[in-house]
Structure 1
Amino acid sequence: MSTAVLFKNARLLDPLLGELQEDRDILVEQGLVKEISDRPISTSAARVIDVKGKTVMPGLIDLHVHVVAVELNLARQVHMPNVLVTLRSVPILRGMLRRGFTTVRDAGGAGFAFKQAVESGLAQGPRLFVSGRALSQTGGHGDMRARSDHMGDPTCACCVRVGALARVVDGVDAVRKAAREELQMGADQIKIMASGGVASPTDPVGAFGYCEDEIRAIVDEARARGTYVLAHAYTAAAIARAVRCGVRTIEHGNLVDAPTATLMAQAGAFAVPTLVTYDALASEGESYGLPQESVAKVADVREAGLRSLEIFKAAGVKMGFGSDLLGESQRLQSNEFRLRAEVLSAAEAVASATVVGAEVLGMSDRLGRLVPGALADLLVVDGNPLADVSCLLGQGERIPLVMKEGVIQFDELQ
């Protein structure tokens, strides 16, 4: 239960400002930021915490996670027992929250039940925006079947496997129905595979996913429910056709070019780069069971990752924070900050995980900043992330307190 908490003498981080605001008092009541002042706040709060010398900042937002990706070998985990996958996802959720990510968007796999588990307190984790199962064409990035001389049945709506991050569906009428089904089952947004990928066995990275009529049908269904479509896409051609069809966020985007980035900016589409996953796949993917055909594809997109940030930035495309890690590599989530800081300023990297993430989720008035009326998602940090993002790395060692919606989740200040 949320109780009133007063943070005194904070160095307040507002992602819209270039420097910390010194000596701020922050009052949290009923799950919200009640008041922020440069003068002492008088209150009968249940707890007063003096954070002098420490930074207080909004909770982080990761727009591309897979909480049910408990293995690097996604084809193998499709066949794992549902209960085992579910239970193995629980520490993944807790780890994200401990690293300071108070909100995440699951980009394929987790459904409404995972939201229920977190919201009811059954599992400890970040606030979830779920996509249900991503939609993939036959032979696309979500089709985990190995090459064979016959076509076995892919995971479908009538054969639920918790370990399946995607479902295979083809044709305009079929994808329209699939989008409706995922929305009916509680998806907050719809994820599609608009190009080939690394973790899937049979699709080249440069392959298209879905024809334009199929993409438009899915976008129409999402818009009809007041939401949007995010698309896995690597190449400039795949990105451009997805954006022209109305896709709102492009996931990965490593092989973007300048004209396509300009098209994205003009359309108001967001990019969600996920650089850390390629580092993880290259360094430890094979040792944790990533198939050889996927290992061979990592190099195609890894080297282009940092260059894509430069292209997106030059075109004025807003970039959200994403990690896209699988299995044992989930612990590396915060390393995305380190990689982005090679191209972006620390302040830009922080903004991607706060205000930009909130804008993508349609929650700019509630998330991403600590202002009166916002949800009290709050981190106490040893260090200044606007100067050096290293204080956000690791497993939360330099984040002694994590609060989500007014409830303290982790506290090493006592």
Structure 2
Amino acid sequence: MSMTGGHGDMREMGERQHISGYCRCESMNALCVIADGVDECVKAVREELRRGAHCIKIMASGGVVSPTDPIWMNQFREDEIRSIVGECTDRRTYVSAHCHPASAIRRCVEFGVRCIEHGTLMDAETAEYVAEKGAYVVPTLAIGFALKEAGAQLGLPPASREKVDVVFEQTLLGLEHMRRAGIKLGFGTDLLGETYVQQCREFTIRSEVFSSLEILRQATSISAEILMKQDELGCVRAGAYADLIVVNGDPLADLSLLAADGTQVPLVVRDGEIVKNRLEQAA
């Protein structure tokens, strides 16, 4: 969900297409619902949950690819965010928030958001606050590196590439603040199209700050906690989904095994069903 002029509003500055009321925005080739004010936010959340959404993500700060909002901009008012959180709480689900600047991160956590997406400009004080409140963060590091390396080739305009530079410079420092504060981190993705093949880079990038064991927990049990499915996912126990892999080697000793585009994972079991089996080839 985005407010008008927020990170999910992909209209160029000169476009005059008017958005009136709650809009799902298919006509704008966007990925967001646009909603302004408490009434529209409540209606939008209820509609998305009715349609089967498992949680609600809000755009709570400026972003890289959106054309009209600065990266430092806080988005949605307090009453709007609290209304969204309230509706999700009533549905026994949660809200996550796209946030880059520390100011947006802090206010979202204060207003009840469960999980921060990206969090690239996290500072030490905000990290301590997030940890104290028990909120989660899902850093999406692979896309930052991908856009830094190949933004122009991927079609990013100059203004967006400048935003990439801003967040990229702080990425690992922000991650270090999260580690020191003890924030629980999950795994996610912000990759689209041809960049999706870089998802596994997340393991090696995080290894600049975290141990292999910490990263494996982030990718499994902590991510399951974020989804409120810790008894079903991210664990090996009776009654849980049998989501299992076999790795050619010990990822605790060499985490790059998980960043090799699946070449070192000969067996994949999803919910008890074998979906990939190359064990004989591996032998």
Q: TM-score, normalised by structure 2?
A: 0.94
1:204 aligns with 2:70: yes
Q: CA separation in 1, counterparts of 2:212 and 2:29?
A: 35
- Is the strand fraction higher in 1 or 2? 1
Contact 1:154 1:168 in 2 (8 A): no
Aligned residues with identical type, % of pairs = 49
- After TM superposition, list the pairs within 5 Å mapping 1:112-191 onto structure 2: 135-148=1-14, 150-153=16-19, 157=23, 160=26, 164-191=30-57
**Structure-2 change in CA distance of 1:403 and 1:154 (3 Å):** farther
Flag structure 2 segments of 5+ consecutive residues without an equivalent.
none
Residue-by-residue CA offset, 1:304-353 (whole Å, 9 max, x unaligned): 11111111111111011123112210000000101000110111111110
Q: Greater RCO between the two (CA within 8 Å, min separation 6)?
A: 1
1:278 aligns with 2:128: no
Q: CA separation in 1, counterparts of 2:24 and 2:208?
A: 45
Q: CA separation in 2, counterparts of 1:311 and 1:365?
A: 29
Instruction: Give 2:218's aligned residue.
Output: 352
Q: CA separation in 2, counterparts of 1:158 and 1:309?
A: 34
Q: CA separation in 1, counterparts of 2:53 and 2:193?
A: 23
Instruction: Give 1:109's aligned residue.
Output: none
Instruction: Give 2:206's aligned residue.
Output: 340
Equivalent of residue 373 in structure 1, options 228, 239, 249: 239
Equivalent of residue 400 in structure 1, options 254, 266, 276: 266
Letter in 2 for 1:235: P
Instruction: Give 2:174's aligned residue.
Output: 308
Equivalent of residue 248 in structure 2, options 379, 382, 385: 382
Contact 2:172 2:209 in 1 (8 A): yes
Instruction: Give 1:233's aligned residue.
Output: 99
- Is the helix fraction higher in 1 or 2? 2
Q: CA separation in 2, counterparts of 1:403 and 1:155?
A: 45
Q: CA deviation at 1:160?
A: 3.4
Instruction: Give 1:297's aligned residue.
Output: 163
Q: CA separation in 2, counterparts of 1:400 and 1:162?
A: 42
Instruction: Choose 1 or 2 for highest CA Rg.
Output: 1
Flag structure 1 segments of 5+ consecutive residues without an equivalent.
1-134
Instruction: Give 2:108's aligned residue.
Output: 242
Q: CA separation in 1, counterparts of 2:35 and 2:81?
A: 12
**Structure-2 change in CA distance of 1:162 and 1:413 (3 Å):** farther
Q: TM-score, normalised by structure 1?
A: 0.65
Q: CA separation in 2, counterparts of 1:319 and 1:336?
A: 12
Letter in 2 for 1:243: V
Letter in 2 for 1:220: G
